[in-house]
Copies of this chain bind each other. A is one copy, B any other.
Amino acid sequence: MARSRLSFEAYFQGIRSGNKLILSKAITLIESKLEQDRPLANQLINALLPYSGQSIRIGITGVPGAGKSTFIEAFGEYITAGNKKIAVLAIDPSSKISGGSILGDKTRMDALSRNPLAFIRPSPAGKEVGGVANKTLESIILCEAAGFEVIVIETVGVGQSETMVKNMVDFFMLLVLTGAGDELQGIKRGIMEMADGIVINKADGDNIAKAGLTRKQFESTLHLFPPPESEWAVPVMTCSSLEKTGIAEIREMLNAYKTSTQINGYWDSKRQAQKLNWMTRNLENLLLQSVFSDPGFKKELRATEEKVRKNELNPNEAADYLFRLIGR
């Protein structure tokens, strides 16, 4: 496949001037699995890091059918109407086999994607779970350096995506449906305690009364959890992506979160912890790559795999043998 890479200067200047096409090409560069792309990608990240960090990074998750895309469209419309720039990145480490969704990906966020103040980057197929977190964090850095003030990371479906996204954003939002009675059933275990805010979508028309009940139910359930480290009182809000109600309140709530956690220091300490995790993951990748890409080791690896296949060594013994070979 022919690869067209730009020069460092072209990427850097393009991103700094907010050129969405070049931003998109730069994300493709950092997502590349080709080893020869990595030095340029690192150079770019290092050069852009000083211009990053100014956005609010919002993770959005939700049950299938909760209307994540329509919510993000309505939210993005509101943000851009205030002359702010919003970037939407999707994370989907799930669909390893076919790379496809069973319901088919409709063209998503159609209106927002045509908005000059919005940048939408769909989730690339076939990413490896291990590398997704770092690539997404690097994409966030690029978007911030391109002047995007609100970054939305959308989790698409299954996999470890929720925990991963929670660990790379400032605010983690759980979007749920208005319903009656069984709302809590559909929420995946462990998700609710991760949420910094719960938003009940589709609170419109006949649903408005029900939405109030749903909110009460979530509020009383939230009391069952220990208070979060952020000392932030997790709000339960209602909105309608259709009628564009509640969106302004959500934006205000996000601002309040930022202010409150900046005052108590949680905002910074979380961002620092995220940077340290990023460093550690990078270091681990470098270490493993350096071992596994060594030609001599590769040969030994193949020979040892053959022995495991033939049951001459068990996987534990084989790992020990290879480890001793590396001589650390």
A326 to B326, CA, bound (A): 13
- Residues 167 to 218 of chain A near chain B (Cβ within 8 Å): 184-194
Please encode chain A, from 243 to 286, with 1 for each CB lying within 8 Å of some chain B CB and 0 for all others.
Answer: 00000000000000000000000000000100110111011101
Cβ-neighbour of A160 out of B129, B309, B317 (below 8 A): B129
**Identical copies in the complex:** 2
- Which residue of B42, B158, B308 contacts A276 across the interface (Cβ within 8 Å)? B308
**A187, B276: Cβ atoms closer than 8 Å:** no
Q: Is there contact, CB below 8 Å, between B286 and A287?
A: no
A31 at the interface (CB under 8 A from B): no
- Could you tell me if B326 and A184 are in contact, using CB atoms closer than 8 angstroms? no
Distance of A100 Cα from B163 Cα, bound (Å): 15
Given contacts A46-B317, A323-B286, contact A97 B193 (CB under 8 A): yes
The answer to whether the Cβ of A64 comes within 8 Å of any Cβ in the partner chain is yes
Please report which residues of chain A, range 291-328, place their CB below 8 angstroms from some CB of chain B when the two chains form the complex. Answer: 291, 304-305, 308-309, 314-320, 322-323, 326, 328
Q: Are B290 and A328 in contact (CB under 8 A)?
A: yes
Do B94 and A159 touch across chains, with their CB atoms under 8 A apart? Answer: no
